[in-house]
Structure 1
Amino acid sequence: MEFNRIMGKNLKQEFYENLDRHSSRFMDLFKTKRGAPAQPTEVRTLVLRGLPIMLGDDDSSFFKTCLVSDHRNTILDVPVGILLEDTDLQPSSSLHLTSSIGIILEGQVVMDKVQDLPQAICLLFGLIYALDLNYPKSLANTFDFIQRVLMSMGQNTLKPRVQSLANQLFA
């Protein structure tokens, strides 16, 4: 609600619309490395997990995967991130990979049982904006891309890596 008040935008609707609008082009860019899943949530998840790779960001300190029983020890050092909990750490055939998704701020799970990764990223983006937090340094390009390219918010000047991906996306 705070995001809507400040920006006058429906965060969830605009985030998903823009993610969906660019997903087919992202899939074309990703096809050289991976097969294309068919479900919309899986496509969104693939795009969001692929963005840090395309932008040269390191998502290892942002996405924390753990067993449901031991997540307290996993997230203490995470200022901003996504917790991907599972009942076991066996590989899954789905891109969802988890039984539970949570949002981490300052080493604490502030939201849990989020429906899926796209919703978690959308909510986290809104929280970061509403609470005036800095983007995670290891994913600065990824969040900058979401803000400036997907959401069309902020300055028009893009960092070189973000500009390069935007050029590929709109080509």
Structure 2
Amino acid sequence: MGNYRTKMRQLGHLDVTVNGGKHGKHSPCGDPPNKRIKKPKRGEVNYLPDFPEGQDDSSLEDARQRMVDEMKKKTPNRVLIKQKMDLTFAVLRNEVVNDEPAIIQICQRWPALFTEHQVCLEFSRVVGKSLRQEFYEALDHHSPRLMEIFKAKRGLTGQVLADLMRQTKALDVMAVRCLVLRGLPVILGDDPSAFFKACFDTDDEERLYSDVPVGILCHEQENMSPHMQSLHHNAFPVGIILEGKIVMNAVNLPQAMYIVFGLTYALHLTYPKYMKNTFDFVQQVLMNIGKTDLKPKLQTLKNQLAM
């Protein structure tokens, strides 16, 4: 394999040249050994693809600029946007993996990426799976059993889950999805209060999320009854927070959750520490992506789901 990767590196394949300076001897400019080795960690199928055949930096930059100009229109051409995003996929991956720009820079250079449609398409390009369909199918499949697990919990965790379930009056599909997504961090030992942020009309929004690296912000009404506040994600607009900025909006919590999960792949982000178990559960159990060996908490919950 070492000889094979050496030959691939000499041919200029990006997914191996990115680690060319690991021991220093392969570095073209005599740079010191690369300590920050880039490698796929979450089951990416297309981690760092090569440029399309017949394309170079100049032609792909023209395509990217055409996409940016199209997004300035009141009604962008979705077919054209998809075509240009497909074509420039390798450029975007190279930027987010190697350059690691700030989110605000990516918003300016790749505005089409911050739409629900393109998040799903980008996830499919990176992983080869349908984000929205597989997320909802797995969530709905496991929801009945998760509700039973919530009811059986005792102690402080059980009290928190019981409060959530008491506040959920009408158990329609959307309400169950919201309840399960809010309960998962609780039973997995995460800190949902650092991820789910709520604001009223009179609040200073930016103050609430300016220091949040990844999160979800919901707009509530001040006169809303307490039992409705727990399900506000289903009834009011939801904002998606990245690096202290609202980058997208969603219509409800389940949609916001799969968009945030998709953006972590599209933008090569690290899962937030306060929700790492939850995102690992979504990745490895719900979406069945990446390694199959799970952390003890995740394995325990997976075993319970199979009972």
Residues of 2 paired with 1:74 and 1:62: CA distance?
11
Q: Cα offset for 1:106?
A: 0.3
Amino acid paired to 2:301: L
Question: 1:74 aligns to what?
Answer: 208
Check if 1:29 corresponds to 2:149.
yes
* Percent identical residues: 50
Residues of 2 paired with 1:19 and 1:130: CA distance?
21
Q: Cα offset for 1:60?
A: 1.4
RMSD across aligned C-alpha pairs, in angstroms? 1.6
Question: 1:120 aligns to what?
Answer: 256
**Which of 287, 292, 302 matches 1:151?**
287
Structure with greater strand percent: 1
Mind listing any 5+ residue stretches in structure 1 that lack a counterpart?
Answer: none
Q: Cα offset for 1:119?
A: 0.4
TM-score by length of 1: 0.93
Check if 1:137 corresponds to 2:273.
yes
Q: Which SS does the other structure have where 2:290 is aligned?
A: coil
Residues of 1 paired with 2:226 and 2:130: CA distance?
33
Q: Cα offset for 1:89?
A: 6.3
Residues of 2 paired with 1:129 and 1:55: CA distance?
22
Question: 2:123 aligns to what?
Answer: 3
| Runs of 4+ off more than 2 Å | 31-37, 89-96
Structure with greater helix percent: 2
Amino acid paired to 1:111: M
Residues of 2 paired with 1:146 and 1:14: CA distance?
11
**For each residue in 1:113-158, what CA deviation from the matched residue of structure 2 results, as whole angstroms up to 9, or x when unmatched?**
x111000001000001111100110111000000000000010010
Higher relative contact order (CA 8 A, sep 6+): 1
**For each residue in 1:27-46, what CA deviation from the matched residue of structure 2 results, as whole angstroms up to 9, or x when unmatched?**
11123433565210110111
**For each residue in 1:3-41, what CA deviation from the matched residue of structure 2 results, as whole angstroms up to 9, or x when unmatched?**
011222110000000000001101111234335652101
Q: Cα offset for 1:88?
A: 1.5
Cα contact 2:209–2:245 (8 A) shared by 1: yes
Cα contact 2:197–2:217 (8 A) shared by 1: yes
Residues of 1 paired with 2:223 and 2:239: CA distance?
16
Please identify, of 95-104 and 3-12, the stretch whose mean Cα deviation from structure 2 is larger: 95-104
How many residues are matched?
Answer: 170
Question: 1:103 aligns to what?
Answer: 240
Amino acid paired to 1:73: R
Residues of 2 paired with 1:167 and 1:89: CA distance?
42
Cα contact 1:81–1:104 (8 A) shared by 2: yes
Q: Which SS does the other structure have where 1:152 is aligned?
A: coil
Cα contact 1:135–1:143 (8 A) shared by 2: yes
Question: 1:65 aligns to what?
Answer: 198
Residues of 1 paired with 2:262 and 2:285: CA distance?
16
Question: 2:177 aligns to what?
Answer: 44
Q: Which SS does the other structure have where 2:193 is aligned?
A: coil
TM-score by length of 2: 0.53
Mind listing any 5+ residue stretches in structure 2 that lack a counterpart?
Answer: 1-120, 153-161
Residues of 2 paired with 1:68 and 1:149: CA distance?
37
